[in-house]
Structure formats: C-alpha cells, structure tokens
Structure 1
Amino acid sequence: MSITPEFFSIGGNRNPAAADWDQDGSGLLAFGADNSIALWTPSDNKLRGPTAILSGHTDVVNAVKFFPDKPPHLNILLSGGADHSLRIWSGPSKSQNNFKLLKTIIEHKSPITRIATLPGSDTFATGASDGIVKIWRLVHDDDFATVDVEPMQSISLTPRYFPLAIALAKLDDSALVLAVGGTRSTIQIFVSLDTRFQLSATLTGHEGWIRALDFTREKTDGNSDLLLASASQDKYIRLWRVHQGEELPAVSSALTDPALGVLGKSLSNKAHRFASATSKYSITFEALLLGHEDWIYTASWQHRAGRLQLLSTSEDNSLAIWEADPTSGVWVCITRLGEISAQKGSTSATGSAGGFWIGLWSPDGDSVVSLGRTGSWRRWTYSSTEDMWTQQVAITGHVREVKGVSWSRDGTYLLTTGLDQTTRLFSEWKREEVSSWHEFSRPQIHGYDLNCIDCLTNTQFISGADEKLLRVFDEPKGVAEMLNKLCKIETTSAELPDAANIPVLGLSNKAIQAVGEDEPVENGDEDEREAVDPASVVRKSTLQFDHPPFEDHLARHLLWPETEKLYGHGYEISAVAVSSDGSVVATACRASSIDHAVIRLYDTKEWLEIKPPLKAHSLTVTALQFSPDDRYLLSVGRDRQWVVWEKGSDAAYVLKHANPKGHTRMILGASWTSLEQTTFMTAGRDKSVKIWQIIDDGVVLKGSVSVNAAVTAVACNRQLLDGKVQFAMGTENGELTVGVAEADGLDKATTTTVAKEVSPAKGVNQIVWRPGRDAMGQQMAVASDDSSVRIFNVSI
C-alpha cells in the first residue's frame, strides 16, 4: 500500500523568534508549530502550503534559525524549545521533506527563548529563561557529514532577566559584538576579547521590555558603521550607531528634530566607549522611530535596491517598513501593511486579530510575511511597476489540538474543529494547470473549546462544544458562490442568507444582508437616530474572490449563520454523529454517572429530542456511529463497553447488544465497516482494534489487530475495495496504520504503517475517509493533538 501526504495545515507558534526565512537560495521558511517545525516555500507558484513537518521536540518550539554558513546543497537548521533542548537539523536545499535530526543538546536548565547566528562565522548564541546566554561554535567537516557543537562561554545576565532578544555582529577582525535585551528596559552590549565576551556598555532610554535587536552595516561594504535597531514594548524603535575611532560621529539630526520635543528627556546623546583588541569604539543614540501604537515584537534590517530599510511588526496589527529620508536623514515609515485599527471590532470574534508576532523579509527583499494570533501567515509582495505592496495567498492552520474532522456528504470539502475555538473549511482550489488545498471559510469562531463536528447535508453541519449544547450552521450564499467559482462545488439550495456575523458580546452567528457598493444601509424599523452597527452589514464586493480568501476575510466575513441550538446535556459535549440519511443526530456528553452518560437523539426536521434518551453507559461516551443503513447505532465509552442500538418500528432506537467488557481498557473509537453482514470495529486503550460481527442474535469477535500504543481513533472506508474492508487507525503517540482485510478473513488483516516523517507528532483524535473517491485514489483526513490537519492519498 502506498500512503503519501497530499496536504498539511498547521498554525504557527506565537513567539517572535519562532520563524526564519533562509536567506541563502533555498527560499525555505521554517516556523515553530506546537512541538514541531513546519517547512514552507512562500514563493512556490503552486501555493502548496507546508511541505514537511519536523517532529522531535517534546515541548513547544520557541526559536528557529537557519545556520548561515553551509554548503550550497545543504540546509542547516537550529531550533530551541521549551523542552530545554537545542536541536540541529540538516536537509538538502532542493528537497524539503528529507530533513534529519543530527544532534540534540540539553545544556540549558530552562526553556530556550532565542537563537542568534552570524553570517561568515561558526559562532552562534542561545538565550534561555534562566537568565543565561550561551555562546557556541558549530564544529563540522566541509560537507557537514559530521556536526557537533562546542560550548564556548556561558554568560549569566546581571541583574538577572530573561533574554527576549539577542543579536551578534562582527566588530572587526579581532572581535565580535553581542547585544542582549529582555525583561528590563536596558540593552547590554558584550564584546569578545580573545574568545570570551565581556560586558562593555549598557544602553538606556527604552521604557519597556526589549523585544527585538538586529545589527547591520550602514552600507554594504564592511568598513561602514554598524547600526543596531532595538524595538520595545514602549511602542518605540531606537537606532544606535557603533562607530570606530576616538572621535564621535556627527550628531544625529534625530536629536534636534522638533517633532520629538516632547520626548526630549529620554533622548540623551551619551556616548558609550569601549575597545576591542585592536580598535576603540563608541556607541551613540542615532534615531527614534515613532508610529506604532502598541508593543513592537520584531525589527529586522534589509538592504533593498541600494537603500537600507527596517521591517517592524507590532501588536497594533501592522507591519511597517522604515527608511531614512535622503535629504534630512530623519527615519520615516514609508510603507504600512496590515489592518487599520478602526477595523478591529470589540471582541476576538469580530476580528481583534491580536497583533503581528513575527515579520520576515524574503531573501530578495521583495516579499514580507507576518504571523498573527490566529496562527495564520500573511504575505505581501512588492511590484516595482505599480510601486506598491499587494497581499498574496498564504497559509493558515489551527493553533491548538484539532479534535474533530468531517468531510461534507459528497466529499468536496473538509471541516475541522478544535481547542483554538474555531471551525475551518478546507477545499481544493482548482485552476487550469494545478490545484492546491486552502482554508476557504471559518464557519464558527467561538468562545468555548470545540470537541466534535459532523455534516448533516452538503450545506449544513453540527458542532458540539464545552458549553453543553450543540449548534447547527447553514452555508451562506457568499461562501457557496466562492466555493462554486474556485473549487467547482455546485450549490444545491437557493434559499441561503448572504453572510453572517457575530454580534458584539455574542456567541451566536446571525445572518446578515450583503448590500451593493452604492446602496444605502437601511436601519429597518428601529429608531432613526440609532446608528447602524457597521459589523451588521457587508458589501457584496467583499464576498467576491478570485483566489482563496486572506486571513483578514477568514477572521471576519466568512462565518456561517447559526440556525439551531440543541439543549439537554448537563456537561461538555463529547461526541456527535448524524445518521446516514441525515434525519437523526445522536450526541453524548462527559459523564461520571449513568444518568449523565446517556445518548440523546434529535430529529433534524423539527429539531426536537426523541425521548427517552438511551441509557447503558456509566462513563463518558467517546464515539458514536450509525450503520450505513441506519438500522443500528454503535456507541463506545470510557466504561470499556460497546453497545449496539437497533431501530424499532416507531423509529426509536432500543438496546440490542452490549458487551460490558469489550476491551480491557477504555474504548476510544468505533466504526462500522461496509460489509453486508453488519461488522464493526472498536479501538481501545489496551493497544488493540477488535473486529466484531452481528450474527443472528449475537455478536462474535472476528479478529483483532494489535499495535504498540493505545489506539485513539479507528475509521473504516465506507467503500468496499474489490470485496476487501479498508480501515485506518491512529494511536496516542501519532502513529498511523492503514489495514486491509478480506471479507471472509477478518482475522488476517494486512497493515501498512505511515512513515514517521509524515505522521502526527502527538495523539490522533479522528480519522475520516473521503467519500466519493474511486478505488484507485482513496484519501483520508487526520486530526491530531499536534494542532495539524493532514490529508493522505492511499492507493493499493
């Protein structure tokens, strides 16, 4: 069996150090995503999204850096995590999915927060939240066949603080300079004498924590002055000049700029003097950059077209590019990208995006990317003909555990939901030559963790959350038209609302009207003097796309209106299933007693509960599934029992078969096969999947497949492949196995394990087979605790 990845989606970590764009030719961008590192080529014309996810860290990845000095055919990547470890990876620069972990070093006693490298040198530095910065040298042969690290020095920061920013630069042939900033308002400058760094200056002036530091040469030749940019939570960026020689540089015009008069007291031009082994140096304050309205997270230099520019990102949802005015020398913001403050809305649901945490230059300087709170990347490219920056399609993903996943009834799109309190719709953008997967809608943005999801029809789904109730959503016209245009998905029902929004302080998505560009906004029958809530109106042009929507639209305009709520459960919803004909919904909630561990049924015509609820389990029901012909309902739970309910003459389900000791540990997954003789599978914490068959008046154990970890999910393909049953199972450590068994030989299943490089890094929560695929090209979607959604091609 051949199992290959078709699509990965995973959100980036909210840490300004957790991403790096390789500046040396491979075009690769690496970013920390939960405990893994995702590799993405932003300039890829096919827009394929992440091509590989490297797993190895045992806790969140905080810092990622490409090592600058390497042979052209190789990439060397350094990563540091909350698991206190520094890891070194290598991979060919042309192919992205062959990265290997070369070395793991655990020297720090607490989470690593930063990594700084230095082009033209084997020296790099790491900072950790124990207040220690370590200096290392990478030891390697010419082709990096063997790689090791040599600890050079350990610097304890005094007075003690956490390093949130580190920068290294070459001062002259005999010395390096290291700048460190963090949870204090001062910046410490260390200079290396022989091989050891010594504190040489302390720069004051900022009034908040230092979040970013970056060195560059003022001109591209090596003899010009060094400039240091420092960005802080006090909303300002300061530039500092490192000048060689006894005499001080000309006084910066920034100090006499009348616009900065109000800040006069903090603009001292004190010169800090120090020396290397061969020369004397001074550091002076050069300029103050004003413009951001909130904390600044990153600042990085780039020489573009003969001009020096600085890119900064901030909590105010903007990304700014700064340049010195050629005549006055005053630094001004020449480009501002991102979101205008007025659009923020008042709750996270209506789009207070929570800032840009990372900003990176592309190697050629003509693209920039930024990462926001929702785990999504935004990308802009510069067009020299139009002299403007335009937004491009980038990638999105969940930032917490993905708990539920469901294909639409016809298999045209995939819905996923999880603990980041969002539901996302992924589908395939079909162009003439190529197709690629993207997020096309964010139907539900919620205030509670979401646990389960299932499709009722091709335009309606139901989701269950920690708020003890279930909600039903209908596809709006704007999303239907976009999916029709870009993904060739035909719309079935005509009576759809235009769009939806979340009222301020609300949790329910309300349907809203889309109005034309010139149409006035009506206020209905309300008081004329009442202002119209701008969030309750959307312009038609906002919902017209010729490409997958950007994050700004996903977070604000592509919600689905909610049509029903289902009440009845007393605790957090744990499982939901829709019958094959879509007429009945079965749900269960977390429970520790037989009274709460009931299964409730609702009919989807009137949305009324079908009484009485089904009682048999004594602990949480973990999975529910209707048989393909809806004759049976299968339920499994933490009480180790499985129960088969049969549909009676009055359409109510009654207890037919039960096995209180189906497994020796709790049962976490269940699935019906497509065989005529009703056969089902159960997956348990006892590291086995069992195959059962209903024969006459009893249930017989037909076979068992054992693996080496607790099985957390099992799914059978609803199609019979040449009379064979095909199933997939996932374990709590992320291992995926696909099996095939003959209809008359269920005890002899042959299994294939998915390669570890493309498997999830944490437990698998749900697997679903894509309906409507032919026997040659089956696909399955996998939701996992490592915050990834993965689609695999499976062919026999």
Structure 2
Amino acid sequence: MASAHLEYIAAGGNRHPCAADWTEELLAYGSGHNVAIWKPENNHNQGVETLLAGHTDIVNAVKLFRDPTSEKRVLISGSADKTICIWVEKSDAKFELVKSLTEHTASINVIGVLPESGVFATGAADATLKIWKLRVSEAAEVEVDLVQSITLTPRYFPLAIALAKLRSGQLVVAVGGTMANIQVYMQDKDTFSFAAKLTGHEAWVRALDFTRESSKPDSDLLLASASQDKYIRLWRFHAGEELPEVAAAASDPAMTVFGRSLSNKAHWIGEGESKHSITFEALLIGHEDWIYTARWFTKSEQDAAPRLLTASADNSLAMWERDADGFWTCATRLGGFWIGLWSPSGSTVVSLGRTGSWRAWSYNAIEDRWLRELGISGHVRAVKDIAWSNDGTQLMSTSSDQTTRLFAQWKRDAATTWHEMARPQIHGYDLNCLSAIGATQFISGADEKLLRVFNKPKAVAHLLAKLSGTTEDAGDADLPDAANIPVLGLSNKAINALTPEEEAATEPSEETTITKSTLDLSQPPFEDHLARHTLFPELEKLYGHGYEISCVAASNDGSLIATACRASSIDHAVIRLYETKEWREVKPPLTAHSLTVTSLAFSADDKYLLSVGRDRQWALFSRSTPTTYELAASNPKGHSRMILSCSWAPVSAFNVFATGGRDKNVKIWAIDPSSSEGVNADLKLSMPTSAPATSVAFYTGTAAEPNTFILAAGTEDGSHMQPSGAINALRWRPQAKAEGQEKPQLAVASEDLSVRLYGFDGLVSN
C-alpha cells in the first residue's frame, strides 16, 4: 500500500504585526490563508513542521498558549475572512480545528489572550472589541462564550490589544489602533467598561503589551505601547490611593522632548481595593520609522528587570533595558521589520523581514553578544511554477511575489534537510513559469512579454557542491562568479568576485560587490546572503510574444525552448520555438490554438511536443528536423472546458500522455502506433476529480509493476493535509541514483504560497 509523507515545506510569513506567536518550543505564524508551525530551536533545522488550513483569506492574528486547566496547547487565529479559528494540539505540533467563531462582521486584526483567566479578546475592522470566555476539557473539547461586544468610540479600528490581571483580581484590557490614544477597559463583575484614555502618541498605536515589573506579588504592571510616531511609551499601573514614587520624578517640568512636555497626568481606575493609578513612565527614543511590535520578556528571578523587544520599519530589532539609574536604553540592535518575538527562555529572538523570511539570533554568553542562527524562508504570494534540475539535485520555484528561488539539500552527518540555497531572480514583474535547461541554466517567463535565460554562477555552484554534495562540472570554470541588479535595471548583470585585497583597493559604488569568501559558507545562506549575493547572471532575453508569458518548456535534450503567451485571438495563441545554441527563434511559430496555451510538454524522446489550452483542445506536434516541429494531430474537443495541464508518461515506446481540465476530469490518451493515417491519439481513460484538475504529472521513474504508470493530479481545492489553495504545478523529482535516492519524491507548487515536497513509500520496488 502506497503512503505519502511530507518532507519539506517552504512558506513565507504574512506581513502583519500580529500574525505570529511563540510559546514553549513552537512558533506559529500566518502564511497566506494558513497557519505555519515551526520549531525555531530545533537542532536539526527541519523548518516548518506543518501548515494548518482552516481560513479562506489572509491570517492576520495568531496567539498560541497552554491552557492551564486542561494542560492542552491552544492556538487562536484570526483572518481577513472575518472568522476566528480555535485549534487544539492533538499530538506534537499537530493541531485540530475544533471551533470557528463568526460573530465579527469584518477582517480580524488582533487577538489578545490571558490564559490563566480563560479570557481572550479580539479586535476587527468592524470597529468592535469582543471579549470571550474559553474552556478546554481534558478531552480537548472546547466551549467558547461571547461575554461582551464593545463598539469602539469614537469609531476606530483596533490594531493592538493587551490583557492583564490587577492585584485585586479584576481584568484590564488596553486597546489601541487607528487613532493616537489608548483606551483602557476595566472589568466590573462579568462585563468591561471604559476606564481611562491614555494620550501622548501622535499617530496610530500598533502594539501593546503588559508585564509585571518583577515577580514580587505586589509589583506594578508596566504597559508598553508602540506607535507609528516612531516612539515607545511605558505606562505604570500602580495599586492604591498613593501615586508611585517614580511619578514625581517624571513630572519635572524640565522633562521635555523636542519642545513637547512629557505629561504625567495620573489616570485613576477602579474603586476601593481595586483602585489603581496609571502614570506615564518613560519615552523610548531610537527608532527612525513606524514601530510594529513590542514584546516584554521577564525572567523568573524575583529581582530580574523586564526587557522589551521592538521591531520597526527602519529594519531594526531593538532590545531595551533599564539601567542602574532607572533609565531605559537600547542595549542591542539587530535586523527586523514586521514582527519581533522572544523565545520562552529569552535566549533567542526572531524577526520577520520585508521578504517574508524569518531571521533568528541566539545569545552567546561567552562572547556576550547575539549571533545569527539559521532561519526559514518561503514565497509570500502564490507559487506559479516549479522545476527540477535535470539531475534532480535542485528544485526551483517561481511566484507572483516576483522572485525565483532555488531549494536543495543540506547534508551533514546528523541530518539531511531542505533549505533555500539561492534566490536566482528578483524581478519587477510577477513571474508565471520556468523550466530547467541542462545542469546550469534555467528560463523564466513573466508578465513582461519576454523570457529571460540565466546561468548558474560559480559561487552558487561551489556552495551547492559543499553543502549538497553535488559535483562541480569542468564547465563550471567558465561560469561567471556572481551577479547583481544594476540601479534602475531588471537584468541580472554578471560580475566577478573580488579577493579581499581587491575589495580593499576598490572605490565604493552603488552597485553590489561580492568577495570570493562571501558564499563560502558552512550552512545554508542567511536571508541577507539570499537577497544580495545569490542572483544568477542573465544570459539572454527572448522576444516575440505580444502579451504576458503563460508557459514554457525545455526539450529533454536541452536544444529547444517552447513558449506561449496569454491570448484572446488566434494571432497571439501561437507557440514559439527557440534553439539554445544561438538563442534564435525557429520560424514560423506553431499554430493550432485560438486562445491561451496553458501548458507545454515534450515527450521523453523529444519526438513530440504536446500543447493544451483554454480553447479546450490539445495539439500534438511531431519533430521533422532537429529544430522544427509540425502539427501532427489535434482534438478540438479534448475536454468540455478549458484544459489546464498536460504530462507525458516516461516510457516513449507507449507514447501516453495525460490532460487535466476545468471540467473536473483527468484524461489519459495514447498514440495509436498502427494508424495508417498519420498520428492519432485515442482516449483510454477518463478519471473524474473533486474539483477542476489544475496540474497533472507522470512519475518519471520506473514503477514497481511492469507496464504501469504513476500519475499525480492536483486540483483547485484543498484540504487539511494538502495545500489549501489551487495546485499550480506538480513535478516528480528525477531519479538521482548517485545520491542514493530510492523513494519517489513529488514537489507541489500551490496558490497558498507554499512549496511542498512529499516522499512516497510503496510506489516502487526497492
């Protein structure tokens, strides 16, 4: 019995400040419509453990915690689909969706939790704050009650929520958002009422977080608020009728910033034993752009002072500490952007950058500094196509996020894991398709009406040989060292790597330089390396099409490229061929279709070129000379709706191919070798699918049974175990026997932002 297991997931993080949380060893973050689960401190660098599919739109908010009553780990996610999903962990990093809440009428922006009280709060673009009571049983059964719905006035959208328990046992909720003030609500029996308005910020409030000043039972609460005004404000919640001593010092009229007085007006909330004062504590200045997140970390030691981590659009991750004199200073500054998170131990921090990649740092006590660790990366928009190198050692993907990425294995004694090893193309247009050409080249097509051919640079070839165990060909010596993108350009320009001596003697310029040691790494590249130093130099541009490129395929012998573009008429619905020796177009173009050609595939022996299109037909072109093809057969009614994908069986003697269409059918066709009237392909089998069949792929190896083919089909729908969006491409890994690969592996590109790699047991005999 065949079985599949997930071996690798690449999925970028959503660029929303509330879309991630870290509890114990698990970090959960929004990735498109999914929630990704990652173990950042896993010594084997396995990357994403799983993707949770339950939402139908972008996940904006994630909270992860352990319920103190049931001891179950709970995940709460909120999405632009207006729903809140409650997940409960069933086994290690495996969560089950147990409840979906639909009371909000607009996109969920933020979630705040207070696990010890079983209370959480949600804020949405419907300008409401909702308070919920959560109960989780030991059997993982969940009950959720809506305690209160608060309409925020004056009307604004909440972007930050923080909850805390006062010394009296009452709960307090701080809310900030699309105005400059912070609203504080206080619990009175079972409901919350407005208690105070904290003023001082001059722009939207993006982040709020409570902490205890120390682990002493009578210590004050501190609230950190971060804003688009580039400042962090600290507020003190102090129990009793008396103001805290620190308030007097802060009320000194000499305390001014840029001519503005730091107001220390005390706000009083509660009555009797629950009476608290709220006073302004400190203004933290150091960021130069909007601040998106602020997170406290407090050690368990009684006298340990809390530390604050902030992430800003100035590309920095700042750690703030209070010195012996009581002043808050920025003790450490790292790289960040959207999100900054502490590990539960405080010894590791992570940040989500502009590209959707996670960066990590761990504190080294011996060196007394924070050192870079390996993070994870992935696309941040739909993955449109994937392609394996001819030897099966590298997988490339291309996406609407305008990047092409290269994934390969990192082999060492303890483990073998997959990682992004290069980012060959960073473009200005959405990328739609790509194909590998031989061992060192690839071609990609985008919305810019032309195709670009790229060479693998020596630096990347050397890195792959070192980390993946691939062999460096003799021809690699002729490859360029590296590439960069000239200012205001779209073409990757080949450059020579510099020795340290040459770099020292070179005048600084706006163009990127690279030294020979830059990619001489002992681990996969960090995000900085990927974004700056792993580009592939561009070899050629191929012109001729009048609209956006829709598909591309390289012949198996690498001598020809077949391409097509989006078309609404016969004039543009042509297939253009280019020979790869001189990169010239082979004219005239091939004609058969009347609308966009959606997929192209060469047969195993390159004898035939198969095309399918939106006009519902497939067409077969047979090779007449080494560089020319002629129309041999077509079926104008191959499917009842548009055909989206095609694939050839690996054994050319059978000449079998498959097509998949929007009519929810996968069809198997075979060329009749006995036909005396030219080429003719007959329908042998039609298999219905649950949704439109968007991709088909024959396994390229040898099946366990003779005369048996293995076919994978992807559809437009998704489920919990599979991609939650349409599957745009399926590609079986070419057999790489030199690596000892025995089990078939299937790469999947999805509309849900992910690139996945599945391994199969029982498909072939070992």
TM-score over 0.5 (shorter chain): yes
After superposition, residues 217-228 of structure 1 pair within 5 angstroms as: 217-228=212-223
Note if 1:784 corresponds to 2:750.
yes
Q: CA deviation at 1:315?
A: 0.4
- Secondary structure in 2 aligned to 1:535? coil
1:403/1:784 contact within 8 Å kept = yes
Q: CA deviation at 1:517?
A: 1.8
CA distance in 2, matches of 1:56, 1:245: 46
Judging changes above 3 Å, is the alpha-carbon distance between structure 1 residues 404 and 78 closer, same or farther for their aligned structure 2 residues?
same
1:603-662: CA deviation from partner (whole Å, max 9, x where unpaired): 000000000000110000000001111111000000000000011136310000100000
* 2:598 equivalent in structure 1: 622
Note if 1:681 corresponds to 2:658.
yes
* 1:586 equivalent in structure 2: 562
* 2:347 equivalent in structure 1: 366
Q: CA deviation at 1:260?
A: 6.3
Of residues 532, 542, 548, the one that matches 1:566 is 542
Gap regions ≥5 residues in structure 2? none
Q: CA deviation at 1:67?
A: 3.5
Of residues 324, 327, 332, the one that matches 1:330 is 327
Cα RMSD of the aligned pairs, angstroms, is: 1.7
Of residues 295, 298, 309, the one that matches 2:293 is 298
* 1:104 equivalent in structure 2: 100
Of residues 497, 505, 517, the one that matches 2:480 is 497
The TM-score, its normalising length taken from structure 2, stands at 0.95
After superposition, residues 756-775 of structure 1 pair within 5 angstroms as: 756-773=719-736
User: What is the one-letter code of the residue matched to 2:8?
Assistant: F
1:192/1:276 contact within 8 Å kept = no
Judging changes above 3 Å, is the alpha-carbon distance between structure 1 residues 629 and 91 closer, same or farther for their aligned structure 2 residues?
same
After superposition, residues 143-158 of structure 1 pair within 5 angstroms as: 143-158=138-153
2:251/2:264 contact within 8 Å kept = no
CA distance in 2, matches of 1:275, 1:609: 79
* 1:749 equivalent in structure 2: none
Percent identity for Structure 1 against Structure 2? 56
Q: Which moved more, 1:648-657 or 1:187-196?
A: 648-657
Of residues 697, 704, 729, the one that matches 1:715 is 697
User: What is the one-letter code of the residue matched to 1:127?
Assistant: G
User: What is the one-letter code of the residue matched to 2:92?
Assistant: S
* 1:95 equivalent in structure 2: 92
1:117-171: CA deviation from partner (whole Å, max 9, x where unpaired): 1141111111111110000101333x15321111111111110100000000001
1:134/1:151 contact within 8 Å kept = yes
User: What is the one-letter code of the residue matched to 1:247?
Assistant: E
Q: CA deviation at 1:177?
A: 0.9
- Secondary structure in 2 aligned to 1:554? helix
* 2:241 equivalent in structure 1: 246
CA distance in 1, matches of 2:254, 2:598: 64
* 1:743 equivalent in structure 2: none
1:6/1:792 contact within 8 Å kept = yes
The TM-score, its normalising length taken from structure 1, stands at 0.91
1:256-310: CA deviation from partner (whole Å, max 9, x where unpaired): 8999644352411111112246332111111010111100000011113623100
Note if 1:699 corresponds to 2:694.
no
User: What is the one-letter code of the residue matched to 2:101?
Assistant: I
1:474-498: CA deviation from partner (whole Å, max 9, x where unpaired): 0111111111111111122211111
1:401/1:784 contact within 8 Å kept = yes
1:409/1:457 contact within 8 Å kept = yes
Note if 1:275 corresponds to 2:259.
no
CA distance in 1, matches of 2:309, 2:58: 26
Judging changes above 3 Å, is the alpha-carbon distance between structure 1 residues 670 and 203 closer, same or farther for their aligned structure 2 residues?
same
1:655-696: CA deviation from partner (whole Å, max 9, x where unpaired): 001000001110000011023121111111111111111113
After superposition, residues 454-473 of structure 1 pair within 5 angstroms as: 454-473=435-454
2:67/2:136 contact within 8 Å kept = no
Judging changes above 3 Å, is the alpha-carbon distance between structure 1 residues 260 and 728 closer, same or farther for their aligned structure 2 residues?
farther
2:30/2:62 contact within 8 Å kept = yes
CA distance in 1, matches of 2:330, 2:214: 20
- Secondary structure in 1 aligned to 2:529? helix
Gap regions ≥5 residues in structure 1? 339-354, 524-530, 735-755
- Secondary structure in 1 aligned to 2:466? helix
Note if 1:730 corresponds to 2:714.
yes
CA distance in 1, matches of 2:346, 2:625: 70
CA distance in 2, matches of 1:417, 1:370: 24
* 1:207 equivalent in structure 2: 202
1:174/1:278 contact within 8 Å kept = no
After superposition, residues 616-655 of structure 1 pair within 5 angstroms as: 616-649=592-625, 651-655=627-631
User: What is the one-letter code of the residue matched to 2:368?
Assistant: D
CA distance in 1, matches of 2:362, 2:493: 35
After superposition, residues 422-571 of structure 1 pair within 5 angstroms as: 422-492=403-473, 493=475, 494-520=477-503, 532-571=508-547
User: What is the one-letter code of the residue matched to 2:387?
Assistant: S
CA distance in 1, matches of 2:380, 2:253: 45
Q: Which moved more, 1:380-389 or 1:73-82?
A: 73-82
1:696-744: CA deviation from partner (whole Å, max 9, x where unpaired): 332111112211211000011222314211110000003xxxxxxxxxx
CA distance in 2, matches of 1:40, 1:391: 18
* 1:36 equivalent in structure 2: 34
Number of residue pairs aligned between Structure 1 and Structure 2: 745
After superposition, residues 266-415 of structure 1 pair within 5 angstroms as: 266-276=261-271, 278-304=273-299, 306-326=304-324, 328-338=325-335, 356-415=337-396
- Secondary structure in 1 aligned to 2:501? coil
* 2:159 equivalent in structure 1: 164
CA distance in 1, matches of 2:254, 2:628: 77
* 2:132 equivalent in structure 1: 136
User: What is the one-letter code of the residue matched to 1:54?
Assistant: L
CA distance in 2, matches of 1:456, 1:150: 58
1:254/1:330 contact within 8 Å kept = no
Q: CA deviation at 1:457?
A: 1.4
CA distance in 2, matches of 1:534, 1:438: 30
Judging changes above 3 Å, is the alpha-carbon distance between structure 1 residues 769 and 259 closer, same or farther for their aligned structure 2 residues?
farther
Q: CA deviation at 1:450?
A: 0.2
Judging changes above 3 Å, is the alpha-carbon distance between structure 1 residues 254 and 475 closer, same or farther for their aligned structure 2 residues?
farther
CA distance in 2, matches of 1:708, 1:673: 23
User: What is the one-letter code of the residue matched to 1:501?
Assistant: N
- Secondary structure in 2 aligned to 1:543? coil
1:68/1:117 contact within 8 Å kept = no
1:5-39: CA deviation from partner (whole Å, max 9, x where unpaired): 110110111111111101xx4x1111111111110
User: What is the one-letter code of the residue matched to 2:98?
Assistant: L
User: What is the one-letter code of the residue matched to 2:669?
Assistant: W
User: What is the one-letter code of the residue matched to 1:95?
Assistant: D
2:564/2:573 contact within 8 Å kept = yes
Q: CA deviation at 1:254?
A: 7.4
1:344-393: CA deviation from partner (whole Å, max 9, x where unpaired): xxxxxxxxxxx611111101110011111211000111111211100100
Of residues 604, 607, 612, the one that matches 2:583 is 607
1:374/1:399 contact within 8 Å kept = yes
* 1:345 equivalent in structure 2: none
- Secondary structure in 1 aligned to 2:710? strand
Deviation >3 Å, runs of 4+: 70-73, 251-264, 520-523, 773-776
